Structure 1
Amino acid sequence: MAKYILKRFLHGLISIVIVVAIVMMLIYSLLDRTTIFAEDEVYRKLQNNARTTYTYRRWQDYGYLHYVNYNDWLNEQVREGKLDPETKDEATDLGRKPEDDEGVVAQYVKEFTDYYESQGYKVERLKAVTSRRKVAAGGQAELFAHKDRPLVSRLWSYFSSIVTIDTIHYVDEDVDIGKRELTFTTHDPVYGGEKFSPAIMGNGTKHKYLLYFDDKFPYLHQNLITINLGTSYSVNKDHDVLETMLQSQGSYVTRPTVFPSGHVEESADDLHTAIYLEGSLAGSELLQSRFEDDYTNVLTRRGGRSKVAFSFSIGILASIMAYALGLPLGVFMARHKDGIVDKLGTFYIVFIMAVPSLAYIFLFKAIGGSMGLPTTFDVNNGTALMYVLPIVSLALPSVANLMKWLRRYMIDQMNSDYVKFARSGGLSENEIFAKHILKNAAIPIVHGIPGTILGALTGAIITERVYVVPGTGNLLTQAINFYDNGVIVGVAMFYGMLSVVAIILGDVLMSIVDPRISFTSKSR
């Protein structure tokens, strides 16, 4: 069994890589990359050369290419000690045209051009745009190099960074870091050191808190190991896809907060999420009054549930409803084949299959609304009633599907030879159905249970759109609408992993239900 599971898991990983590669190829190679600026207000305001350089910077952020600006390259030379600041300031002053470059400027422009062309980059020089002999807005001369990222490189970069382990060597700078170390405390400073609350804190790490307790389920949390599915650039700017799905939503929840400086105030800042942000403390008097180092980038506490929580709650309750109704009805239809219940059930199955899901979801929404049930979700002031219509809309097609397949499997089993032998052996019809037919017919149904449970995490795209559910199903459509490539790839990865795990668990569960099924190969 273990050998089979490992083999199936490895095959699943290969399938995931192929799926992600196809998604990346569709996004980065076949679609027009300028579509990412459709809703970009900054892009619309910029003009001339400033818009061009902004375009390339954003293409680099979205993973289309590698981009290096001449001024950024000069700054890097200063940091590496290859160039002094005075010479750098002089070299920055590009001429309005390439032929206007002289002295130090011409020297470093040539060095920049020669180096990046030797690395396979395309070097572009934009002449200054003038208006009445003055440089127009955004028309400063620009020099930069760019190179498209190959698919293999993009895939390697993505998969090699999915799992990261935080270490004390994360921060490159030594400024304001002090001693790089991990510290264990039994009295978390977030609570003012007044109550027993163990925590492991880092200095030089990305996260200030690597392990801590709080009052939010599951109460013990860690930032030591992080899963990175991809960074969002539009839907939830600069946040990872998984973080977007797990982050609480809704209005801010404030409480008395003890900041590292000792300052106490009502705040929604969650200090346990503090991340190192270079130079942030020096540039803000407000942060200086609250923090003692550059671990100032924090998330906020919100009162609502996360996207995954909303989707999973609806999905799992809809699944329970579907199995509770679909299985008994499927059994009853099979046992009373061609009866009135079987005919009514068949009509219902045909209706659900024939009518587009969007049509009957809107129908149920209209009926439920006329009965006074909530037809949209309220993240902050929601009630249990707002779950009713989405659950019913999601469960009814699953009920029909379970009825159809269980009825079919049972009728197939009823015509099998072993059933005839059982009858000839004197077993009653009830014994034959309970001990033989139902058990064998349920095996394919059992295989789909893990997929149903894990599938609840992915949400339901149409149902969540209609009922305005802030869940994970709506996340993919939002990402597509805003051309958020990182989220699209991350969600595809998430769906792929759940599918692989669901199939493996289904096989294991099926072998448990039916001991005749074995995944071990025996040599003769």
Structure 2
Amino acid sequence: MTKYVLKRLLHGLISSIIVVGIVMVMIYTMLDRNLIFAQDPVFKNLGNNEKTAYMYRTWEEYGYIDLFSYQDYLLMLQENGEIDEETRKSVSTIGRKPESDKPETAAYIQKYQDYCDANGYTVVRLNAVMVSPKKYANGGKEQLFASKDLPIAHRLITYVTGFFSVDNIHYVDKDIDIGERKLTFTLHDPVYGGNKFAPAIIGNGTYHKYLLYVDDKFPFIHQNVLTINLGKSYAVNAGVDVSETMVKKQGSYVLRSITFPTGLTEESADDLHTAVFVANSRETNKVNADRFTDDYTGVNTVKSGKSKMGYSFTIGIIAVFLSYLIGIPMGIAMAKNKDKLIDKIGTVYIVFIIAVPSLAYIFLFKAIGGKLGLPTTFDMESSSKLIYVLPIISLSLQSIGALMRWLRRYMIDQMNSDYVKFARSGGLTEGEIFRKHILKNASIPIVHGIPGGILGALVGAIVTERVYTVPGAGNLLTVAISMYDNGVIVGVTLFYALLSVISLVMGDVLISIVDPRINYSGKAR
């Protein structure tokens, strides 16, 4: 069994990477890259050369191209010892047009052109746009840079190799003076004033200040040593990784008395355990200087609501439980009373769920629920649990119908099997035949879907969450597609693929437990 599980997981991982590769091919080769600016307010307000330069910078952020500016080239020459800082500064300013370049500058621009040609870059020079001999047009300053498209294989390798990142004391640039780089273990976390038993590992030189800490929130022990990087968002949640977007809490700020490292105490929503290094943040911000003793000033805030995944999972897992609680007894009852009243009623429900589009019956039940006084719009600030009722019911309707349908079918097939006839002739009662044989065999396909239902609750339901405005993970992919946010699209795709693989493997393991006759080892039992 262990060998089978590991083999399936390995094959599933390879398949997931292939899926990500296919998605990358679709995004970066089949879609017009200019579409990412359709909803970009910054792009719309720029003009002339600055608009073009912004396009190239954004394409680089989205992973389409690699940019290499003239200034980057001069810095490279300085770092290699080919020119000194004074020379770099003297040739760094280009003319408004090529003929306006100083002779020394023109020579280095030609070297830059030759270097770019040799390394596959295409040089882009934008001449100055003037409204008068001495005045630039809006965004009209001259530009000089080069770009080359990144191959899909390079993007895929970079993405896969960067999936995990391990924090360490060498994260902060070596040129920044931060004192001794080290990890410190303490039994008394300074966040609690040092007067509470709370083990923690604190870093200096790391990205996160707290690499390990304990608090009273599930799962109680938290770590920042190993980070999963699904892909950075550029539009949906700018600058934030997809994994953080899905697990970060939402809602209003939760204010409480906080004592900062400098000793300052005030009402704040800051979570000091999330502090990350932000270079020179105390020098540029007096508020940070008043609160912190070092540049670990980037903190998240504590909020009252759940995360996107939290809302989706809460609704999804209850819907799964409700589906099995209702669907299985109904399916059994329909099979045992074939062609009788309860079977006909169940069949009507199944036909209704199959025939009517999910969007239609969700709106129907939303209208009915509204007439009964149930909340029809999700409100994170509401303390009433009734806001969950309609989304849960709407999400479970289809699953209940599917369970009823398939369990009835499997059970009726089993009832007509030869082994059931032999069991009757052997003197077993109908109850014994039903419990020991029919129900057990018929439940095997149903059991296989349980892990998928549970893990699927993590990704949410697109239609249900949109109808009831649930701030969950369900519509994250659709929003990312509409905003052409490549990082989120790729990240969510990989997340879905990995969950599918895990649920399939867990389903195989589960049915082998339910039915010992199923053997994955290849050996007869």
TM range (shorter): over 0.9
Q: Which whole-Å CA distance do the structure 2 matches of 1:242 and 1:498 have between them? A: 14
SS in 2 for 1:473: coil
Q: TM-score, normalised by structure 2?
A: 0.97
SS in 2 for 1:215: coil
- Report how far residue 280 of structure 1 moved: 2.3
Listed one character per residue, the Cα deviations across residues 162-206 of structure 1 (whole Å, up to 9, x for unaligned) are 111111111223323211110112222222223222210111111
Q: Which whole-Å CA distance do the structure 2 matches of 1:35 and 1:74 have between them? A: 33
Q: Which whole-Å CA distance do the structure 2 matches of 1:314 and 1:421 have between them? A: 45
Q: Which whole-Å CA distance do the structure 1 matches of 2:179 and 2:79 have between them? A: 20
Alignment partner, residue 146 of structure 1: 147
- Report how far residue 233 of structure 1 moved: 0.9
Alignment partner, residue 21 of structure 1: 21
Q: Does 1:290 align with 2:285?
A: no
**Which has the higher mean CA deviation after the structures are superposed, 82-91 or 183-192?**
82-91
- Report how far residue 28 of structure 1 moved: 1.1
Alignment partner, residue 121 of structure 1: 121
Q: TM-score, normalised by structure 1?
A: 0.97
Within 5 Å, give how 1:202-217 maps onto structure 2: 202-217=203-218
- Give the aligned residue type for 1:250: G
Listed one character per residue, the Cα deviations across residues 418-472 of structure 1 (whole Å, up to 9, x for unaligned) are 0110111111111111110110000010000000000000100000000000000
Within 5 Å, give how 1:318-329 maps onto structure 2: 318-329=319-330
Alignment partner, residue 516 of structure 1: 517
SS in 1 for 2:497: helix
- Give the aligned residue type for 1:21: G
Alignment partner, residue 347 of structure 2: 346
Q: Which whole-Å CA distance do the structure 2 matches of 1:355 and 1:244 have between them? A: 34
- Give the aligned residue type for 1:60: E
Does the 8 Å contact 1:189/1:258 carry over to 2? no
Pair 286,80 (structure 1): closer, same or farther in 2 beyond 3 Å: farther
Alignment partner, residue 449 of structure 1: 450
Alignment partner, residue 482 of structure 2: 481
Pair 83,380 (structure 1): closer, same or farther in 2 beyond 3 Å: farther
Pair 47,442 (structure 1): closer, same or farther in 2 beyond 3 Å: same
Alignment partner, residue 184 of structure 1: 185
Question: Any gaps of 5 or more consecutive residues in structure 2?
Answer: none
Residue identity over aligned pairs, in percent, reads 60
Question: Any gaps of 5 or more consecutive residues in structure 1?
Answer: none
| Runs of 4+ residues over 3 Å off in structure 1 | 72-86
Pair 78,40 (structure 1): closer, same or farther in 2 beyond 3 Å: farther
- Give the aligned residue type for 1:7: K
Alignment partner, residue 356 of structure 2: 355
Alignment partner, residue 472 of structure 1: 473
Alignment partner, residue 261 of structure 1: 262
Does the 8 Å contact 1:176/1:293 carry over to 2? no
Pair 432,390 (structure 1): closer, same or farther in 2 beyond 3 Å: same
Q: Which whole-Å CA distance do the structure 2 matches of 1:272 and 1:406 have between them? A: 49
Q: Does 1:496 align with 2:497?
A: yes
Q: Which whole-Å CA distance do the structure 1 matches of 2:105 and 2:440 have between them? A: 82
Listed one character per residue, the Cα deviations across residues 2-51 of structure 1 (whole Å, up to 9, x for unaligned) are 11111111110111011111111111111111111112111111111111
Q: Which whole-Å CA distance do the structure 1 matches of 2:446 and 2:467 have between them? A: 29
Q: Which whole-Å CA distance do the structure 2 matches of 1:35 and 1:309 have between them? A: 32
Alignment partner, residue 172 of structure 1: 173
Alignment partner, residue 57 of structure 2: 57
Alignment partner, residue 507 of structure 2: 506
Q: Which whole-Å CA distance do the structure 2 matches of 1:89 and 1:283 have between them? A: 26
Listed one character per residue, the Cα deviations across residues 261-291 of structure 1 (whole Å, up to 9, x for unaligned) are 2222221111111111223232222222222
- Report how far residue 255 of structure 1 moved: 1.6
- Report how far residue 71 of structure 1 moved: 2.7
Does the 8 Å contact 1:176/1:294 carry over to 2? no
Does the 8 Å contact 1:281/1:291 carry over to 2? yes
Within 5 Å, give how 1:226-241 maps onto structure 2: 226-241=227-242
Alignment partner, residue 402 of structure 2: 401
Pair 159,77 (structure 1): closer, same or farther in 2 beyond 3 Å: same
